[in-house]
Amino acid sequence: MPAHSNTPAEVAITLPDGNLRSYPYGTTGADIAGSIGRKLRNDALAIIVNGEPRDLSLPVEENASVEIVTFDHPEQLGREIFWHSASHIMAHAVEELFPGSRFGAGPATEQGFYYDIASDHRFTEEDLRAIEKKMLEIAGKAIPIIREEMSREEAIAYFTSTRNDPFKVEILEDTLKDTPVVSVYHEDGFSDLCSGPHIPDTSKLKAVALSNISASCWRGDSSRQTMQRIYGIAFPTEKLLKQHQAHLEEARKRDHRKLGTELELFMLSPEVGSGLPMWLPKGAIVRNQLETFLKEEQRKRGYLPVYTPHIGNIELYKRSGHYPYYSDSQFPPLTYTDDLGREEQYLLKPMNCPHHHLIYSSRLRSYRDLPIRLTEFGTVYRHEQSGELNGLVRARGFTQDDSHIYCRPDQLVDEICNAIDLTKFVFSTLGFDDIQVRLSLHDPENLEKYGGTGEVWEQAEKDVREAADRMAISYVVGIGEASFYGPKIDFIVRDALGRKWQLGTVQVDYVMPERFDLSYTGSDGQRHRPVIIHRAPFGSMERFIGVLIEHTAGNFPLWLAPIQIAVLPISEEAHEYAVSVQQQLHTAGIRADIDLRNEKIGKKIRESELRKIPYMAIIGQKEMASQSVALRRHRQGDLGTVSLQELQDRLLKEIEEKS
């Protein structure tokens, strides 16, 4: 019976399909899942009550909309809960195997989990296998994972005396200093400070693979205690683990660093420096084709090209705010003393924006001049941590397809829509069809991170929402993901392996026009502030091409391929005609290679396949006599015999259509 007369006997639960059901007051998520079906009860990991994820064991004490969370939840929530729980089980296993270990942070990641561990023991690959075995042993015991709420003071006492865990005590005394009640999760003899939710018991974990160990520092501070980070992934079935491992093997084959070397696209040299890629001729062709494609599209849309230097006076970046906001990720200033003894400091350019603002302000602008769309493929430099560098996708020197649109407030939403349209056009042309859009907004609880006033942010976020709605794009909202000067519309693409990459972006900026005193003369003869749109469909050329290599597995579409066709004579007698074929194709603007080696045609074909050349023109006695070629397509095989003119027309049409 209810404890108080005000407590209802039943609660009304609305399920995702709109079905309304009544349950006794205090029914748990597990009870609701079980009432729907036995399979759902077995698969259930957590419950969402009125949008809030909770443990299955918690009672529902109000009328609510409810959704049962399984591993395959469409928003990845099930995986996140499962992997976060697996990180706790891993810590439990480590504590049993290596007593005295202490634990820092153990979050879920996009592809699994990790835990930062302080231990006198130096973990090895053999240890990872032992930890996996212990995790499965713990899972086999079906240990309940129990949530307990404590006052912050009780939790400090618990983690000080009972757990002897200084890391959790620091979190309680620092990060959670304004949180009166916290939650602790227990699984048998192991306990961890966590907000949850977690899986109901350890038996849900059926398969686990710990992948690697790396060094880390407590709270990411290199001056704090060094820790060991163990990465892993876990699944509710062995089949899912095997699928994941096959996925990883395919990812290794597609690794852009591996393919970049094999296809001679780019190189990294310690003599140049970490994170500073150099483009080889074939990679330069790919990059140049992409740049030419975007430049031509921008020309059609009224963009004006500019060029700016690779370094700038530090005062410029202080004025923009980039120096104080991003000083940790910038190279140290270059100090210069001129012949008069005057000292100046310069920075390797971290952003193109301030330079473009100065170009805009170089002369008076009228309301009739706007919008002004400046564009540059500008190289910038960031001092990324060495452990975060990853070939092209995380580099220290990279080129942004940067544009800044200076417009009147009444033009703003139209210009945002145009920038969105251009970005979508770029992605669809390059074969990225699975795109998620995120509206990256500011965190109103942390205003000191941002420039401008609350009113300015309210207007800017209204603008991006209006544009996104007008363009009929579905989006998610990311609170706290905005730039320091304005909200963003970020484009996150999913590649052929299902991985997500944040690439293009459109940003609205009311802050920089104030900082740089930008203006235009209005129809009333008075000075007015323009609004700035920062826009980059590719994001960075290096990152985009790195993702594109992995998305296509190096099989570029014909218009991008460094070599579009290989001319392969069968015998020396066909060399002269083969050379004439190559020259005719070259004259037509087709990138044709020729293989005149004294090798069997089978070997030449195999090597052209390995080089991922889209087409092969095989030439023997018959083709010489008929002035034709035997045409092959990479990964498809023989396409039959075509005349030289047919070949040329076919290739040029495919190149023109960018199909």
Encode pLDDT of 598-652 as tens digits. 999 999 999 999 999 999 999 999 999 999 999 999 999 999 999 999 999 999 9
Smallest CA-to-CA distance from 595 within 615, 579, 614 is with 579
Residue 365 annotated as catalytic = no
Smallest CA-to-CA distance from 58 within 29, 31, 15, 24 is with 29
Whole-number average pLDDT of the chain: 93
The helix (H) or strand (E) run that includes residue 183 is strand 181-187
Per-residue pLDDT, averaged over 373-382, amounts to: 96
In order of 564, 595, 615, the CA distances from 592 in angstroms are 6, 10, 9
pLDDT at 3: 47
Q: Is 534 annotated as a binding residue?
A: yes
Torsional sign, CA 27, 29, 30, 35? positive
pLDDT at 1: 41
* Assigned token pair, 531: 């609004």
pLDDT at 219: 85
CATH architecture of 79-247: 2-Layer Sandwich (3.30)
Report phi then psi at 339, rounded to 5. Answer: -70, -10
Residue 123 has pLDDT above 80, yes or no: yes
- The catalytically annotated residue of 84, 134, 287, 404 is 404
Residue 187 has pLDDT above 90, yes or no: yes
User: Can you tell me the distance from the alpha carbon of 49 to that of 64, in angstroms, rounded to the nearest whole number?
Assistant: 6
- The catalytically annotated residue of 228, 298, 330, 400 is 400
- Between 485 and 406, where is the model more confident? 406
Per-residue pLDDT, averaged over 296-303, amounts to: 96
- The catalytically annotated residue of 92, 356, 373, 488 is 488
Q: Is 92 annotated as a binding residue?
A: no
- The catalytically annotated residue of 282, 349, 353, 463 is 353
| Band of pLDDT at residue 2, cut at 50, 70 and 90 | very low
pLDDT at 456: 87
Residue 340 has pLDDT above 90, yes or no: no
What pTM value is reported for the model?
A: 0.82
| Band of pLDDT at residue 5, cut at 50, 70 and 90 | low
Residue 328 has pLDDT above 90, yes or no: no
User: Can you tell me the distance from the alpha carbon of 2 to that of 8, in angstroms, rounded to the nearest whole number?
Assistant: 7
Residue 225 annotated as catalytic = no
Residue 76 annotated as catalytic = no
- The catalytically annotated residue of 355, 534, 632, 634 is 534
Per-residue pLDDT, averaged over 283-297, amounts to: 97
pLDDT at 455: 86
| Band of pLDDT at residue 569, cut at 50, 70 and 90 | very high
Residue 252 annotated as catalytic = no
CA 7 to chain centre: 47
Are β-strands 102-103 and 112-118 bridged in parallel, bridged antiparallel, or unpaired? antiparallel
CATH of the domain spanning 10-69, picked from 3.10.20.30, 3.40.50.720, 1.10.287.130, 3.40.640.10: 3.10.20.30
Residue 33 has pLDDT above 50, yes or no: yes
SS3 614: coil
Residue 545 has pLDDT above 90, yes or no: yes
**High-pLDDT (> 90) share of the chain, %:** 82
pLDDT at 555: 96
User: Can you tell me the distance from the alpha carbon of 400 to that of 375, in angstroms, rounded to the nearest whole number?
Assistant: 10
Q: Provide the CATH topology of domain 565-657.
A: Rossmann fold (3.40.50)
- The catalytically annotated residue of 165, 402, 463, 490 is 402
| Band of pLDDT at residue 203, cut at 50, 70 and 90 | very high
* Single-letter code of the amino acid located at 482: A
| Band of pLDDT at residue 326, cut at 50, 70 and 90 | confident
Task: Sheet with 334-337: list strands edge to edge.
Answer: 311-313, 343-348, 334-337
- The catalytically annotated residue of 229, 373, 382, 396 is 382
Residue 239 annotated as catalytic = no
Q: Is 186 annotated as a binding residue?
A: no
Annotated domain spans of the chain: 10-69, 79-247, 286-307+353-552, 309-351, 565-657
User: Can you tell me the distance from the alpha carbon of 592 to that of 565, in angstroms, rounded to the nearest whole number?
Assistant: 5
Residue 217 annotated as catalytic = no
| Band of pLDDT at residue 452, cut at 50, 70 and 90 | confident
SS3 432: coil
Per-residue pLDDT, averaged over 5-12, amounts to: 78
Residue 402 annotated as catalytic = yes
CATH top-level class for 286-307+353-552?
Answer: alpha beta
User: Can you tell me the distance from the alpha carbon of 45 to that of 51, in angstroms, rounded to the nearest whole number?
Assistant: 16
